[in-house]
Structure 1
Amino acid sequence: MDTDLLSARETCRLLGISQATLYAYVSRGLLESRPGPDHRSRLYPRQDVERLAQRKRAGRGAARGAAQSLDRGLPVLETQISLIRPDGPYYRGRSAVEAVRTGATLEDIARLLWDCGEHDPFAVEVDGNWPATVATIAGNERLPPLARAMAAIPLLALDVQHSFNSAPRVRHEIAAALLRHNAALLVAQPPFAGPVHRLLAQCWKPDDEGFAELVRAALVVCADHELNVSAFAARVVASTGAHLHATVCSGLAALSGPRHGGATARAYALIADAREAGSARDFIAMRWQRGDDLPGFGHAMYPHGDPRAAELLPRLRELHAGSPMLESLETIIAATEDISGQRPNIDFMLAAICHANGLAATPALVMFAAGRLAGWLAHALEQQAQGRLIRPRARYAGVAPAEPA
């Protein structure tokens, strides 16, 4: 056995835990597991086990526990918006996967996440023209989508009446306009009164109903994922009482980082590189043996596979059955699972949708940003309704001040 990998028994002995606790650690993303030689057992990286053991020995005081909670550890906030379970995210108790299957649109999910009740904020008439203050930016296709949205949205706020009104109905209507405006800005189009998935699909593959349905499904499963980096950023800003346009910009800023929204571009590049290699299987094996990560595969919250990706994959297969690109994607998926034990995540599927439809990498990020904005707004609305400022404390670890003489 590879000395850098430990069996479940050895791992439990070093950590002083039961196998049930070990499985819980894996499900929470605290430990990575890999397939054993017989493909039934699991092995655990020694380095990760020893690091976790050191953390346990260091104690679990309040300060240390709080610090560890910031990296997918213990829950730090209560929310009624979404719940992550092994079978995928749930939006206010409703399965995101089931919502896809019943034909829900992003707008349907937004109304659910925002707890709109019988009120439909999307029924408000949409002005199909941009205000003069943002028209030049909004239509500039040379700007990157996130940059275009982040530049225009603060200016749009200047024309929004009642931006600090606390009435739920008013705030829901502002949120609905923001959802539509953000989607239009991401693809440099005028504001659109119809469903977001149709706006995006028409930009990328006009009059292709099957593709539009795939985009709809992607937006729904991307709408929220509990307290991820961008949602937390939006909640922090919202806790100050800032208007919804500002909270949306904080979410977009967080998403722009390579370790968050940039994951779709890296997954897209992995697919392209694997296809260009003489053997996709050898390419994946080389990366894995070299210690490189495999963008688009594995997810700390879903150690047994990302249900969001599992819902999109059959839809992609049906739409592109028999195509050479789908065969390439299937080869990459099968080889990666066999070699690393990892399955596709949502980043891979968004990138795969783009590859299969002859699109560049950018639409993958646009789908993520257009869908996730519904969740950011839900978190902002919930945080402001709670009326509490998010202000954690830091544990100073720098140079000690000089003692007074």
Structure 2
Amino acid sequence: MTPMRDQEPGRPADAERRLSTKEAAELLGVKPETVYAYVSRGQLSSRRAPGGRGSTFDADEVQALARRNRRGGGTDPAAGGELSVRTRITLIDGDRYYFRGIDAVELAERHTYEEVAEWLWTGTLRPGVTFAAPETSVAVARRAVDALPEHAGPADRLRVAVIAAATADPLRFDLAEEAVLGTARTLLPTLVAALPTVRRDHVDDGPLAHRLWARLSGWPADEAGLRALDLALGLLADHDLAASTLAVRVAASARAHAYAAVSAGLGVIEGPLHGAAGGLAHKMLLEVLDQGSAAPVVAGELRAGRRVPGLGHRLYSGEDPRARALFAALEEIPRAAPALAAARDVAATAARHAPLHPNVDLALAVLTASSGMPATAGETIFAVARTAGWIAHALEEYAERPLRMRPRGHYTGPRPPRPLPE
């Protein structure tokens, strides 16, 4: 029987029905924490209960979600009945995640982004590895990116750079593992080199994080800042089958070459629920710093019916391990202290509404806001970082049966045959 609150005195019978967190959890067959995970990813909306104790949920909305989960065929309710794809790359287990069985946070803390990328691609660590881009590829990509209008966003620039680099590579259709690895090792530095530089004293060699800094910030690079940026790249290199990664695997399943597969991933990350989330959190932190308190900023987000950026993650009921690691690195940077305090204020203020932990987008926003970078920098960092994971998944998919990523549609339209419309 559907759990439901008794009708309140004087309330119309057809008024909106509200469930408590406990009632919603019982109806969905999940823990109360999972109910808030649904809220954090936009599958449920919540409202503060009268008296400020807990949250309430629309009964019809909860029932609809329960029906969708049941149609998922008995999969984990917290996963929303999603497609399952076998992979040996990333495991998310509890509040930790692993790259090929190695704790991903420890790997990123002890190794450079390039070393993390090599581990994802080959399962072998190559200490001191750096990537170099062919001059021809960089020249073609730079010309293409320079031709874009000034308002072009990071995903626009990177997509154009990928397409341009592909045209300069006549061997791009070779899907043998070594050929794809060769593409991977040149594509990453090509993407970074194609971005407009902010500083004149930029470098085009050395660790990728050093090259990327000059394209994101006009401030001089210091060791702590570069380390935080490199750590962010390593932490974000992969995260199981996120929406963009699934798009990459679909492209690779159809045997699209590596450039085209990466382009498919870049086409997905522009949404506010994926790669662009860090930019929303960046703008929120600047507003908190400007107003001196998170309360009015968080209130404005909730009043507008929006999620508070940088809080909650569908795969972690507790703290996002990527956020924890990046926050720890940022605490070693004195100039990051104001943005860190603003982030803590946001988390504490929002906790009165729903018990959601900061995610990596909020930590990334602290990095960009405290390093003289624009709000779009988070999206650039995310896209460059995730390119390593995308290529790892493309490599894995090339070894699978072609076109296996072809789900069958569940038709719900009118039954045929129907007469032609007049």
State the partner residue of 2:63.
Answer: 50
1:153 to 156, 159, 162: 162
Closer, same or farther: CA 359–399 of 1 in aligned 2, 3 Å: same
The yes-or-no answer on 1:95 pairing with 2:109 is no
Name the aligned partner's letter for residue 27 of structure 2.
Answer: L
Distance in 2 (alpha carbons) for counterparts of 1:121 and 1:316 = 24
Q: Is the 8 A contact 1:274 1:280 kept in 2?
A: yes
> Does the CA contact (< 8 Å) of 2:121 and 2:181 recur in 1?
yes
Residues 21-32 of structure 1 mapped to structure 2, 5 A cutoff: 21-22=30-31, 25-26=34-35, 29=38
1:88-145 Cα deviation digits (max 9, x unpaired): 321111111111232x111111111112547899667543465654442244683433
Which of 82, 88, 91 in structure 2 is aligned with 1:83? Answer: 91
> 2:255 aligned with 1:241, yes or no?
yes
> How far did residue 384 of structure 1 move?
0.8
Task: Summarize the alignment of residues 6-405 of structure 1 with structure 2, pairs less than 5 Å apart.
Answer: 6-8=20-22, 10-11=23-24, 13-15=26-28, 17=29, 21-22=30-31, 25-26=34-35, 29=38, 45-47=57-59, 48-55=61-68, 60=71, 65=73, 72-102=80-110, 104-115=111-122, 117=124, 126-128=133-135, 130=137, 133-139=140-146, 142=150, 143-187=152-196, 192-203=204-215, 204=217, 205-277=219-291, 279-288=293-302, 291-320=305-334, 323-389=337-403, 390-403=405-418
Please tell me whether the aligned partners of residues 264 and 350 of structure 1 are also in contact (alpha carbons under 8 angstroms).
Answer: yes
TM-score (norm 1): 0.83
The CA deviation at 1:322 is: 8.2
Structure-2 change in CA distance of 1:139 and 1:66 (3 Å): farther
AA at the equivalent of 2:400: Q
Q: Alpha carbons of 1:321 and 1:127: their partners in 2 closer, same or farther (altered >3 Å)?
A: closer
**Secondary structure in structure 1 of the residue aligned to 2:98:** strand
Secondary structure in 1 matching 2:232 = helix
Q: Distance in 1 between matches of 2:155 and 2:396?
A: 24
Change (3 A) 1:24 1:273: closer
* Residues 330 and 336, structure 2, Cα contact 8 Å, conserved in 1: no
Residues 290 and 248 of structure 1: is their aligned pair in 2 closer, same or farther, counting only changes over 3 Å?
A: closer
Deviation at 1:289, TM superposition (A): 5.7
Whether the 8 Å CA contact 1:29–1:303 is kept in 2: the answer is no
Letter in 1 for 2:115: D
* CA positional deviation for 1:84: 1.2
Structure 2 letter corresponding to 1:200: L
CA contact (8 A) 1:309 1:344 kept: yes
8 Å contact kept, 1:124–1:173 = no
**Cα 1:35–1:216, aligned 2, differ >3 Å: closer, same or farther?**
farther
Structure 2: which amino acid aligns with 1:400?
R
Residue ranges of structure 2 left out of the alignment (5+ in a row): 9-16
**TM-score calculated relative to the size of structure 2:** 0.80
Counterpart of 2:14? none
Partner of 2:11 in structure 1? none
Indicate conservation of the 8 Å contact 1:320/1:356, yes or no: no
Secondary structure of 1:318's counterpart equals coil
User: Over residues 359-387 of structure 1, what are the superposed CA-to-partner deviations in whole Å (9 max), with x where a residue is unaligned?
Assistant: 21121111101100001111111111113
Task: Answer with 239-248 or 390-399: which moved more.
Answer: 390-399
Kept after mapping to 2: 8 A contact 1:119/1:169? no
Q: Give the direction of change, closer, same or farther, for the CA distance of 1:175–1:77 in structure 2 (3 Å limit).
A: same
Aligned length: 391
Contact kept in structure 1, 2:95 and 2:317, CA below 8 Å: no
Deviation at 1:216, TM superposition (A): 0.8
Deviation at 1:33, TM superposition (A): 11
When structure 1 is superposed on structure 2, of 211-220 and 162-171 the one drifting more is 162-171
1:263 Cα deviation (Å)? 1.4
